[in-house]
């Protein structure tokens, strides 16, 4: 898989997507979004890939959408355009496998929003998060007003979005924006460790659990619980369910095949 603005490596079932526009702090232009969407689509259907890590490398995650590209746009361009960021983030969010964001340095604007489309966020202790769009006269248009309050609650999300202020990794951990904070040189290793743990579990169960959680956020509780029950029932038709329970009874580790 070859791209101009991304590097994609696959090693032992784990794909790592690295944003690769270092000269502009990985600013996300429409080419990045289009390539991210294509990578997500390809990796979704690649059975050899069981988990995905997305990173910006060891210095910065991403400084947001490309302001130099947006400065020329009018309302009609934005309203009628293809919305590549929406397509990219939704494809990442809906991948039937776990997606982990590994974050060093700044994750701002669309960069922060990209991490919100991942399932889990691992941050360096030097990471900084924020949605500074308000300072540009716009609002977070890559899902920030929707995914952030669902993750950390409306009050804290409004404070971040209305002020445009940045928060450090410790605060991001405290408010639930990130799952774990580690030293900068351990971010990728920690993300990989977590990915390996996810990969060792039953892939079908994990994928359906992800669907239940993602879809459940669009449903009221009663319908969500019914949806969960359907997915739960379906898993009793899998070899992994037979293997997982048999292994428990036989006091051994399960050998899941993702079937
Ligand atoms: N878009 C385009 N170029 C950017 C960029 C961005 N979002 N962020 C940084 N760059 C470019 C700079 O213009 C600069 O390029 P030149 O050398 O050609 O001038 C280069 O990257 C290095 O940046 P700085 O010199 O500014 O680096 P710094 O270390 O002094 O500051 C920073 C780092 C605080 C992250 C600062 O670059 C900054 O504030 N960037 C913009 C952050 C921002 O407002 N993000 C939100 C974007 S809007 C958005 O994301 C919309 C959405 O909801 C989808």
Q: For ligand 1, atom 28, name the residue with the nearest CA.
A: 25
With cut-offs at 50, 70 and 90, classify the pLDDT of residue 11.
Answer: very high
Residue 243 lies in a domain: yes
Domain that residue 233 falls in: 203-249
Active site (annotated) includes residue 133: yes
Q: Is the pLDDT of residue 80 over 90?
A: no
Give the chain's domain count.
Answer: 2
Using an 8 Å Cβ cutoff, are 151 and 142 in contact?
Answer: no
| Domain match, 146 and 89 both | yes
Distance CA 186, CA 173 (A): 16
Extended strands (E) in 114-234: 120-124, 128-130, 166-168, 180-182
Q: Which residue has the tokens 């879809």?
A: 215
The closest residue, in CA terms, to atom 4 on ligand 1 is 24
Atom 30 of ligand 1, residue of closest alpha carbon = 25
pLDDT of residue 81: 84
Identify the CA nearest to 195 among candidates 54, 94, 20. Answer: 54
State pLDDT tens for residues 172-220: 999 999 999 999 999 999 999 999 999 999 999 999 999 999 999 999 9
Q: Could you tell me the distance, in angstroms and rounded to a whole number, from the CA of residue 129 to the centre of ligand 1?
A: 13
For 14-61, write each residue's pLDDT tens digit.
999 999 999 999 999 999 999 999 999 999 999 999 999 999 999 999
| Ligand 1 atom with the shortest distance to the CA of 132 | 44
Q: Do 51 and 125 share a domain, yes or no?
A: yes
Task: Decide if 1 is inside a domain.
Answer: no
Same domain, yes or no, for 160 and 237?
no
pTM here?
0.97
Q: Are residues 211 and 189 in the same domain?
A: no
255 in any annotated domain: no
* pLDDT tens by residue, 122-157: 999 999 999 999 999 999 999 999 999 999 999 999
């Amino acid at each position: 898989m070859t791209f101009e603005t991304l590097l994609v490596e696959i090693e032992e079932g784990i794909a790592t997507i690295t944003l690769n526009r270092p000269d502009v702090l990985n600013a996300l232009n429409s080419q990045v979004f289009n390539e991210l969407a294509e990578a997500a689509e390809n990796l979704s259907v690649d059975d050899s890939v069981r988990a995905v890590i997305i990173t910006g490398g060891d210095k910065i995650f991403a400084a947001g959408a490309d302001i130099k590209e947006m400065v020329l746009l009018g309302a009609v361009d934005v309203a009628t355009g293809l919305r590549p960021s929406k397509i990219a983030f939704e494809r990442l969010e809906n991948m039937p496998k776990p997606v982990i964001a590994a974050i060093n340095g700044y994750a701002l604007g669309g960069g922060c929003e990209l991490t919100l489309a991942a399932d889990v966020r691992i941050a360096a202790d030097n990471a900084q998060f924020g949605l500074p769009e308000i300072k540009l006269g716009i609002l977070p248009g890559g899902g920030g007003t929707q995914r952030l309050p669902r993750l950390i609650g409306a009050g804290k999300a409004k404070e971040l979005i209305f002020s445009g202020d940045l928060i450090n990794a410790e605060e991001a951990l405290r408010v639930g924006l990130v799952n774990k904070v580690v030293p900068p040189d351990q971010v990728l290793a920690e993300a990989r460790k977590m990915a390996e743990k996810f990969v060792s579990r039953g892939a079908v169960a994990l994928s359906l659990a992800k669907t239940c959680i993602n879809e459940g956020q669009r449903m009221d509780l009663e319908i969500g619980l019914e949806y969960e029950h359907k997915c739960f029932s379906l898993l009793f038709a899998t070899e992994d369910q037979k293997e997982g329970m048999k292994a428990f009874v036989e006091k051994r580790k399960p050998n899941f095949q993702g079937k």
